A and B are shown apart, each in its own frame.
Chain A
Amino acid sequence: MKIMQCPLNGPRNISEFVYGGEVRQMPEPNLCSDEEWAEYVFFHDNQIGLVQEWWLHAPSGYWFIAERHTASDDIVRTFDPSERFKERVEFAPNPEVSAA
């Protein structure tokens, strides 16, 4: 079985982890077009190459990010989400409301 290097718990069988989807940039939900939103919700690159993904180490409830190759399945890097998400995220107000 594949071994995954958990930034918190070290090398573990991949069966201890839960895949959480690709790390993607969400468009501003109140400002983007329906088109852009549908793209974000349903469509994927799904190409061969390195992708950044959410992975959860279930026994410790720890989410981290793994950089994985989608054909070789090699995991080249795993790191704490704070490396990529540094600031507190805020959302733009709903325009319909602010208009009203």
Chain B
Amino acid sequence: MSQIKFDTPTRTQFSRRSPIYRQQAGALFGERDGAAIALQVSDDESRAQLQQGALLDLSATFRTGARGRAASQWLTQQQLPLPAQANQSVTTGDGELILRLGNSEFWILGNPLRENGALARQLQSAPATAGCYPLSCQHSHSWFALSGKCRSAVMAKLCGVDMRESVFGSGALAMTSVARVSAIVVSHELQGVPVFSILSDSTSATYMWQALLDALQEFGGSTAGITSLLPAN
């Protein structure tokens, strides 16, 4: 993929931009689903870093969703797996993440490690029929991933929901308040790395990013780019 370093994109680069790209000024960026995504923030990034504790910005990655009484039907028509119960998530074979928010709202999050163009084209056909209403979660929410053994302890400083491994294992999902901002927290794995995905109001993204980093510091965590997820490392 095309790789460039920039502090702020020139007026022509990447018409679709993560709400917090400025927070990663100086990082190595690449294109993901038509938007800029941080590939590498610092030179010494590795899976070890992820173990230690890392915060990744996945906002650029494709995602969409639908809700309404017919939404689950539509999801099945797309041959996508359906989380069995309210407030659960499943990961597909292709590394996409399917969220079930409440009973009848579903989000499909693309795989941040590859282009999701095909999926995007497939899901654009979401029928706006009665009972199935497409969602704008690509834009309404930012998407951060928090990794590391410390991730439960980090969240405990920001959120009143018990997110210890024993009670909030892979697949668990909570719509709750993080640092006083409404957020969706999902426990899952990215490339075999256990993470919390945190999706929250894109207009509060900078605030949320800084709150998470602040809470992460105590554990020697830092930001990272998505290449740190690649098995190559």
Chain A residues proximal to chain B, CB less than 8 Å: 1, 8-9, 12-13, 15-16, 57-60, 62
Contact A9 B182 (CB under 8 A): no
Closest to B102 in A: A8
Contact B175 A60 (CB under 8 A): yes
Chain B residues proximal to chain A, CB less than 8 Å: 86-87, 101-103, 160-161, 174-177, 182-184
Most buried by B among A8, A9, A13, A58: A9
Known contacts A59-B176, A60-B102; A13 and B160 CB within 8 A of each other: yes
Q: Bound complex: CA of A15 vs CA of B30, how far in Å?
A: 40
Q: Bound complex: CA of A2 vs CA of B102, how far in Å?
A: 23
Q: Bound complex: CA of A15 vs CA of B176, how far in Å?
A: 10
- What distance in Å separates the Cβ of B2 from its nearest Cβ neighbour in chain A? 37
Contact residues in B for A58 (Cβ distance below 8 Å): 177, 182
Contact B102 A12 (CB under 8 A): no
Closest to B162 in A: A11
Cross-chain pair count, CB within 8 angstroms: 31
Contact B101 A60 (CB under 8 A): yes
A and B contact pairs by CB, cutoff 8 A, 6 listed: A1-B160, A9-B87, A9-B175, A12-B160, A13-B160, A60-B102
Contact B183 A59 (CB under 8 A): yes
Known: A58-B177, A62-B102. 17 other contacts (CB 8 A): A1-B160, A8-B86, A8-B102, A9-B87, A9-B174, A9-B175, A12-B176, A15-B177, A16-B160, A16-B177, A57-B175, A59-B176, A59-B177, A59-B182, A59-B184, A60-B102, A60-B175
Contact residues in A for B183 (Cβ distance below 8 Å): 59
- Smallest CB-CB A-B distances: 10 pairs: A60-B175, A59-B182, A59-B175, A13-B160, A59-B176, A8-B102, A16-B177, A59-B177, A60-B102, A58-B182
Q: Bound complex: CA of A15 vs CA of B182, how far in Å?
A: 12
Contact residues in A for B86 (Cβ distance below 8 Å): 8
Most buried by A among B103, B160, B175, B182: B175
Contact residues in B for A9 (Cβ distance below 8 Å): 87, 174-176
Contact residues in B for A60 (Cβ distance below 8 Å): 101-102, 175
Contact residues in A for B102 (Cβ distance below 8 Å): 8, 60, 62
- What distance in Å separates the Cβ of B54 from its nearest Cβ neighbour in chain A? 25
Q: Bound complex: CA of A8 vs CA of B175, how far in Å?
A: 10
- What distance in Å separates the Cβ of B32 from its nearest Cβ neighbour in chain A? 27
